Structure 1
Amino acid sequence: MKGVILVLWDIDRTLLYTGDIDRRVYKETFTSVVGRPPTALPARGTGVTMPLAVRELLRVNQVPEQDVEAFAARIVDELPERLAGHRELLVNDGVIMPGAVDALTAVQQAEHLIPTVVTGNLRGSAQTKLSELGLIGYLDTTIGGFASDDSHRPALVRIAQDRAAAKHGGPFNRDNTVIVGDSLEDVRTGFEGGARVIAVASGTTTEQQLRAAGAQHVLADLTSTTTLLRLINQDQTP
């Protein structure tokens, strides 16, 4: 396992962008479960895990606190299936981020790199998005960390590391684990969860904000695979 690096890709606004489809799914599922449409929806591009976004959605729409957990569980259960019902919309309106395919290809083809995901998406939602936009084949989604594993995003790093270790041998730790993501949550996840961070300013967070949050490296986008690979490799402890 010497020299092997686990690469944890964020999904939304790092690899792909699905516009308002997630918000549409939140609205539809909230209406189905609560019995009325929401008047407010989750903020865009925060990187917060879906279970936490659902609880916030319920609270800002004045759902009584005693009902929040029960409604949240039902909404979280429904979200992946409801998203899967919009496959055609994902194909037609979803966008692959600039450089993402070449970046994914380069990481996948490097023998010492193990590509998977750490995402605020539930597993089913992540797999649907990646499948419909043709990216799932570049990633090992049998490992990785999903919001359906834990709503606390930093905990997903250890989950992914443990799954990778079980499949490939180990151990995986901060020295040989890298997150590639666009949000402040990705930076926090790396710091608290135990991974280096390569931030990509392709979402709603600026390069300056990502640097101020402590990202080790910040890229404008994924269009330079040479730079990305150099950054993934350069800080590894021998």
Structure 2
Amino acid sequence: MTDVLVLWDIDRTLMYVGQIDRAVYRAAFRQLTGREATQLPARGTGRTVPLAVRELLATNGVDHHDIEPLAEQMVSLLPHLLTERLQELRDEGQLMDGATEALQAVRASERLLPTVVTGNLQPSAEIKLRAFDLDQYVDVSVGGFSSDDAHRPALVGIAQGRAAARYGGTFDRSNTVIVGDSLEDVRTGIEGGAAVIAVASGTTPRDDLARAGADRVLDSLVHADELLDAIADLTVTRSSKG
């Protein structure tokens, strides 16, 4: 019986992939335009990939008439380019402190259903999770990805709907929690309908995460019991769900 939907962010919450995402953006831009990008999307913002791609094209002087068709091509291309860097992901990327243990603890609880809500495209999210053997701890089939909707708060409802369809019951703000590191993760929970456990493992200070409206702020994922306690405190168990 699962009672609570746990939505994991990926980048800087579970892992840090360094310059690899930016290298992939550069390669995709070069392949589609025949020139180098001089400006890249800001790092650590939690912005969805479709929005980041459009920003990349606009700030590098692509004619506004060409942005939409090129953006669609780039969104399709990015996962393929990331796949080519799978070994680089494994060699140069790193797990955030306590990430694996925290994922294991959530997965081990019968009342928790772990998945992901991320600004990554679904294929890219799956590549990253597999690279670090984290896919075994989340049910990606009920997640929310920027390939579903470029508006990140909408991904909460998408994941809730998928989880309800697969596992039964109803998931809403009372029994859904996001675990993430950015202001965008906080906004996603507030606007999308989930409690927010912020982890100060990214580029955003814990005070900023708290001021933005996070329900709890953890310094890291090192103490899995603190995470489990926060999830329990912020959600309602519905014993009638099957």
Normalising by the residue count of structure 2, what TM-score does the alignment of the two structures yield? Answer: 0.96
SS class of match (2:40): coil
The offset of 1:237, in angstroms, is 3.4
Counterpart residue number, 1:30: 29
Equivalent in the alignment of 1:166: 165
Per-residue CA deviations over 1:5-48 (Å, capped at 9, x if unaligned) read: 00000000000110000000000001101121100111110000
CA contact (8 A) 2:4 2:112 kept: yes
Match of 1:180 in 2: 179
The equivalences for 1:98-177 within 5 A come to: 98-177=97-176
Q: Distance in 2 between matches of 1:14 and 1:237?
A: 24
- Structure 1, gaps ≥5 residues long: none
Q: How far did 1:99 drift?
A: 0.3
CA distance in 1 between counterparts of 2:223 and 2:74 reads: 39
Aligned to 1:87: 86
Per-residue deviation at 1:236?
2.0
Q: Deviations over 1:170-208 (max 9, x none)?
A: 210000000000000000000110000000010010001
Deviation at 1:144, TM superposition (A): 0.6
**Counterpart of 1:43?**
42
Structure 2, unmatched stretches of 5+, are: 238-242
Match of 1:211 in 2: 210
Contact preservation (8 Å) 2:4, 2:236: no
* SS at 1:40 equivalent: coil
What is aligned with 1:190? 189
Q: Kindly state the Cα deviation for residue 94 of structure 1 after the two structures are TM-superposed.
A: 0.9
Taking the aligned partners of 2:100 and 2:58, their CA distance within structure 1 comes to 38
Distance 2:210 2:161 in 1: 29
Describe the SS at the equivalent of 1:118: strand
TM-score w.r.t. the length of structure 1 is 0.98
One-letter amino acid of the structure 2 residue matched with residue 7 of structure 1? V
Taking the aligned partners of 2:235 and 2:201, their CA distance within structure 1 comes to 25
**What one-letter code is carried by the residue in structure 1 that aligns with 2:164?**
A
Equivalent AA in structure 2 for residue 176 of structure 1:
N
| Aligned-partner Cα distance in 2 for 1:185–1:230 | 23
What is the percent sequence identity of the aligned residues?
A: 57
Secondary structure, counterpart of 2:142 in structure 1 = coil
Aligned residue in 1 for 2:14: 15
Cα distance in 2, alignment partners of residues 159 and 14 from structure 1: 21
**Displacement, 1:235?**
2.2
Provide the rounded CA distance (Å) in 1 between the counterparts of 2:210 and 2:100: 25
Partner in structure 1 of residue 68 of structure 2: 69
- Computed over aligned residues only, the root mean square deviation of the Cα atoms, in angstroms, reads 0.9
Contact 2:29 / 2:35 at 8 angstroms: preserved in 1?
yes
